[in-house]
């Protein structure tokens, strides 16, 4: 397929477009009300970790611990977005992106005693005001993993009190920012916070115990449930939801044991979060997989967690192929000869479609969905002032086609956010893995728009002309 979109006029009909990104002419993405944006997270881009009253987070502590993050990288400077936010918003708007999903750094806006930090709050007020001036829809995530360290010192998400402190934080933010946020997401990827943070230690705070993981998850979901009515009361015009990373599990064979293995993988990756949110109960199979890890659940907790949602954010990156471990669990069997990203993750767009259509069948009360993260890492280089990220272009087109297939199958998907707007601190992988559609030179902080972003911008210009 041709790789030069410059020869295609922006005024031609979608049927005639043949560049490597443009969706098919009958794609749902041509709908004017299908939101197309980009996403970031506070610790991954902001830097300025000790400025204007910001307190330490668990990721400051974790990334400063030798051996925890690749190459000893930290988020101390990251993309320096705290100082370059105006430039970054102008870049976002210049690309024509319609939505921006960002997160607020809890340690930047509240002191240890719960008092507001005005300088931190003012940063987000200025940022959101600028986004509104540009006509960009704002999706704000309250918790994208950067728990204040002082709360972790008191037990973090293993301490039930943290859920109530989160509700206080949600109360402050929704009072201060009411009217400037189109959609609030309480949590980003509680599976990662609970399992990677407390179950296997790969992420901050670096604890590793199965019982810790399930208890942390319960308190995370309780925090979500406590925050939703607060957000509704303080900012009634906005949407309220949660963002979860979803994993597609496929069986290595037709055997009953391997089919069961794939099922259990999706239970621990998806139903662990969605069942309490949408059914008011934890899946029983979870504790077959992890016996003896049942969390302490108090009367009324599950009703609180199951607060009605206006939307569900779905983050998707790859599938996992599973076989039975011969006992009561599963083992991964990576397929050979498949396309992979810099992360080593298989490129499997059908998994996104299958998850979305499966959720529609499983949950009668499934809310409208936004794909809040989808993207890939590649070892991008700037050559003669350009970044030709051909693999990402093909990745995005194929995954957007999968979203279109899900919509045509009846799933209410209302938008899609590229992960990520720009290269950034990729958690335990530091700065080696580049997910952005904009390249960042970390030494100079120069931003270079990649070919993928140019083609997304071109599509949005075309759609605007046609709708």
The percent of residues above 90 in pLDDT, for the chain, comes to 95
Give the model's confidence band at 414: pLDDT under 50 very low, under 70 low, under 90 confident, else very high: very high
| Tens of pLDDT, residues 257-303 | 999 999 999 999 999 999 999 999 999 999 999 999 999 999 999 99
User: Domain count of the chain?
Assistant: 1
Domain for residue 9, yes or no?
Answer: no
Domain for residue 73, yes or no?
Answer: yes
Domain for residue 338, yes or no?
Answer: yes
346 is catalytic: no
Is 236 in a helix, a strand, or coil? coil
Point out the catalytic residue in the list 189, 346, 454, 462: 189
CA distance 350 to 262: 16
pLDDT of 43 > 90? The answer is: yes
pLDDT of 153 > 80? The answer is: yes
pLDDT of 5 > 60? The answer is: no
| Tens of pLDDT, residues 90-109 | 999 999 999 999 999 999 99
Query: Binding site residues, as ranges?
Result: 44, 144, 188, 317, 419, 426-427
| Tens of pLDDT, residues 173-189 | 999 999 999 999 999 99
Residue 126 domain boundaries? 25-466
Domain for residue 10, yes or no?
Answer: no
313 within 8 A of 370, measured Cβ to Cβ: yes
pLDDT at residue number 465: 93
CATH number at residue 74: 3.20.20.80
Domain for residue 15, yes or no?
Answer: no
Domain for residue 361, yes or no?
Answer: yes
410 phi, psi to nearest 5 deg: 105, 5
| Tens of pLDDT, residues 347-385 | 999 999 999 999 999 999 999 999 999 999 999 999 999
462 is catalytic: no
CA distance 322 to 261: 6
Query: Binding site residues for substrate, as ranges?
Result: 44, 144, 188, 317, 419, 426-427
pLDDT at residue number 6: 32
pLDDT of 19 > 90? The answer is: no
Beta carbons within 10 angstroms of residue 34's beta carbon: 20
Point out the catalytic residue in the list 98, 266, 373, 462: 373
∠ Cα 257 275 233 (to 5°): 165
pLDDT of 7 > 80? The answer is: no
Domain for residue 387, yes or no?
Answer: yes
């Amino acid at each position: 397929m041709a790789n030069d979109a410059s020869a295609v006029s922006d005024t031609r009909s979608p049927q005639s477009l043949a560049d490597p990104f443009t969706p098919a002419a009958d794609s749902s993405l041509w709908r004017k009300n299908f939101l197309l944006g980009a996403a970031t997270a506070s610790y991954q881009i902001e830097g300025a970790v000790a400025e204007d009253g910001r307190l330490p987070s668990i990721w400051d502590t974790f990334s400063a611990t030798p051996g925890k993050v690749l190459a000893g990288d930290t988020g101390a400077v990251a993309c320096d977005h705290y100082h370059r936010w105006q430039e970054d918003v102008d870049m976002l708007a210049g690309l024509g992106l319609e939505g921006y999903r960002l997160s607020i750094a809890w340690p930047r806006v509240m002191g240890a005693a719960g008092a507001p930090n005005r300088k931190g709050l003012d940063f987000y007020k200025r940022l959101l005001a600028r986004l509104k001036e540009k006509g960009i829809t704002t999706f704000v995530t309250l918790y994208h993993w950067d728990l204040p360290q002082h709360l972790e010192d008191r037990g973090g998400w293993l301490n039930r009190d943290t859920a109530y402190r989160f509700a206080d934080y949600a109360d402050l933010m929704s009072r201060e920012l009411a009217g400037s946020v189109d959609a609030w997401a309480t949590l980003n990827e509680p599976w990662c916070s609970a399992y990677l943070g407390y179950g296997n230690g790969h992420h901050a705070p670096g604890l590793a115990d199965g019982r810790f993981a399930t208890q942390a998850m319960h308190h995370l979901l309780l925090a979500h449930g406590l925050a939703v009515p607060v957000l509704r009361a303080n900012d009634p015009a906005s949407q309220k939801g949660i963002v979860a990373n979803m994993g597609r599990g496929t069986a290595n064979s037709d055997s009953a044991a391997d089919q069961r293995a794939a099922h259990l993988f999706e239970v621990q990756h998806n139903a662990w979060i969605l069942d309490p949110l949408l059914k008011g109960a934890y899946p029983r199979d979870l504790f077959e997989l992890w016996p003896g890890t049942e969390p302490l659940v108090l009367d009324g907790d599950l009703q609180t967690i199951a607060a009605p949602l206006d939307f569900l954010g779905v983050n998707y990156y790859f599938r996992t192929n599973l076989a039975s471990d011969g006992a009561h669990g599963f083992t991964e069997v990576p397929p050979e000869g498949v396309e992979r990203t810099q992360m080593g993750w298989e490129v499997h767009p059908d998994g996104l479609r299958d998850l979305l259509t499966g959720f529609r069948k499983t949950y009668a009360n499934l809310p409208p969905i936004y794909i809040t993260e989808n993207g890939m890492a590649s070892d991008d280089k700037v050559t003669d002032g350009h970044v030709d990220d051909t693999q990402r272009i093909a990745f995005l087109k194929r995954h957007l086609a999968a979203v279109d297939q899900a919509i045509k199958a009846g799933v209410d998907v209302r938008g899609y956010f590229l992960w990520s707007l720009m290269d950034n601190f990729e958690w335990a992988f530091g700065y080696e893995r580049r997910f952005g559609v904009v390249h960042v030179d970390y030494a100079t902080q120069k931003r270079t728009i990649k070919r993928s972003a140019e083609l997304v911008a071109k599509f949005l210009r075309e759609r605007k002309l046609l709708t």
